[in-house]
Structure 1
C-alpha cells in the first residue's frame, strides 16, 4: 500500500514510517498540515494517518478541506486528544478511524489494514476509463478502441474495481475481499484465473497491455 503520514513529532513520525516500511508499504512522511494537504491532494494514497495537533494547518481543518474537495482517501486520526468529544470532532471532520497516543504499533498497523479493506465510496462519474478502454456503469458496456468487449459479471466487477483504483496496486487479498467478498485465503487461484481471462479479452487483441502484474505485490490497471 501507499501511505501518507502527517505527524509533526519527529520521533513518532519516524517510528510509524519505519514500521510501516518494514511491513512492505510505501510511506510518505510530512511534518506539518500545509505540506500534508499539498501531498494528499497531489498524490494517490490508500490510507492517510493524520495527527490532530499539526502546525500550519491543524488536522481537523486539513481533513475538512480534503473532504470538501472530494478526496475520499481513508484517514486515521492519531492524537493525544482522547475524549469522546474529541473523537466525535475527528469523525465529523471526515476521519474514518481514531487512535489515541500512546499506541501499540500492532494496533496502528491493523487499523490501517482495516481501512484499506473498506470499499471506497461510489464515484458519481458513471464512466470509467484507462487509455482507450472505457466502461459505462449505466449501460454496463465495455469498449476498447471502439470495439465492444463482452464480460461475465465477475469479470466486469474485477475490471470495475481496478479501474476505480487506476494506477494503484491491488493485492490478491484486496481483490478477494472486494470482488468475491472473501476475507480469508481460499488457497485457490481464482484471482489469477480471472485476471488471465480478463487479459484475454481486454489486452490480448490490442497492442498495449493495460492490466499489469507487479510480482510479489499485486495487479493494477494503468495506461
Structure 2
C-alpha cells in the first residue's frame, strides 16, 4: 500500500516507516499536521496513519479535514489517548482504526494488513500501468513496451510517485522530501538531474514527452497515446 505516516516523534517515526517498508509498503513520513494536509492534497494514499498530538494541526483535525474533503483512503489514529471517549471521538471523526501507544510493531503491522483486506486492496497484483509503461510495486520492476528498464532506487521512487499520481502536478518540495527525506541537504538541482536520468531511461526519444516540467511548480507524468 501507499502509506502516509504523520508522526512528530522522529525516533518512533523512523522506526514505524522502516517496519512498514519491510512489509513492502511505500511510506512517506511527515512530522506535523500541516505537512500531512499538503501531502494528501496532491497524492492519493491508500492509508494515512496519524499521530493524534502533532504541532500545527492535530491528527484528529487532519482526520476530520480529510473526511470533509471526501478522502476515500483508510485512516488509522496512532495515539497515547486510551480513554474510551477518545477512541469514540477518533472513530466518529472518520478513522477506520485506532491503536494506542505504546504498542507492539507486530500488532501495528497486523492492523495495517487487516485494513488492507477490509478495503480489498491487493498486495500481490500491485502493478501501475500508464500506457505501455508498467511499474510492478511488488517486485520493484519497470517495463516499457515489454522491455525491462533498470532504475536506481531513487529513479524508481521518482517514477513510482509520478505514475501513482498520473496527470497530477507534484511540487518540487514534495518530491525532494519524499525521495531524499525531511532532513536531507539537497536542492532542486538534484531533483532536475534525477528527472533527466529517468527520462533518458523510460522515454522514447522519437515519441512524445512522458514526464512534463511545470514551470515554477514541479513535474507531472502524462499518458501517451499508443
Q: TM-score range by the shorter chain?
A: 0.5 to 0.7
Look up the SS of the partner of 2:106 in the other structure: helix
* 1:211-222 to 2 correspondences below 5 Å: 212=134, 214=136, 216=139
The separation in 2 between residues aligned to 1:99 and 1:119, in whole angstroms, is 18
TM-score by length of 2: 0.56
TM superposition outliers: structure 1 runs of 4+ over 4 Å: 220-223
Q: Could you list the per-position Cα deviations for residues 86-126 of structure 1 after superposition, in whole angstroms to 9, with x for gaps in the alignment? A: 00000011100000000000110111111122237xxxxxx
Question: What's the counterpart of residue 73 of structure 2?
Answer: 73
Calculate the aligned-residue CA RMSD, in Å: 2.9
The separation in 2 between residues aligned to 1:209 and 1:173, in whole angstroms, is 17
Question: What's the counterpart of residue 171 of structure 1?
Answer: 123
Question: What's the counterpart of residue 22 of structure 1?
Answer: 22
Check conservation: 1:4, 1:47, Cα contact below 8 A. Answer: yes
CA shift for structure 1 position 41: 1.8
Question: What's the counterpart of residue 51 of structure 1?
Answer: 51
Cα 1:84/1:25, change in 2 over 3 Å: same
Look up the SS of the partner of 2:78 in the other structure: strand
* 1:135-214 to 2 correspondences below 5 Å: 170-172=122-124, 208-209=131-132, 212=134, 214=136
The separation in 2 between residues aligned to 1:110 and 1:173, in whole angstroms, is 20
Look up the SS of the partner of 1:172 in the other structure: coil
Question: What's the counterpart of residue 83 of structure 2?
Answer: 83
Question: What's the counterpart of residue 195 of structure 2?
Answer: none
TM-score by length of 1: 0.57
Gaps of 5+ in 2: 142-162, 167-222
The separation in 2 between residues aligned to 1:99 and 1:109, in whole angstroms, is 11
Gaps of 5+ in 1: 121-160, 162-169, 176-207
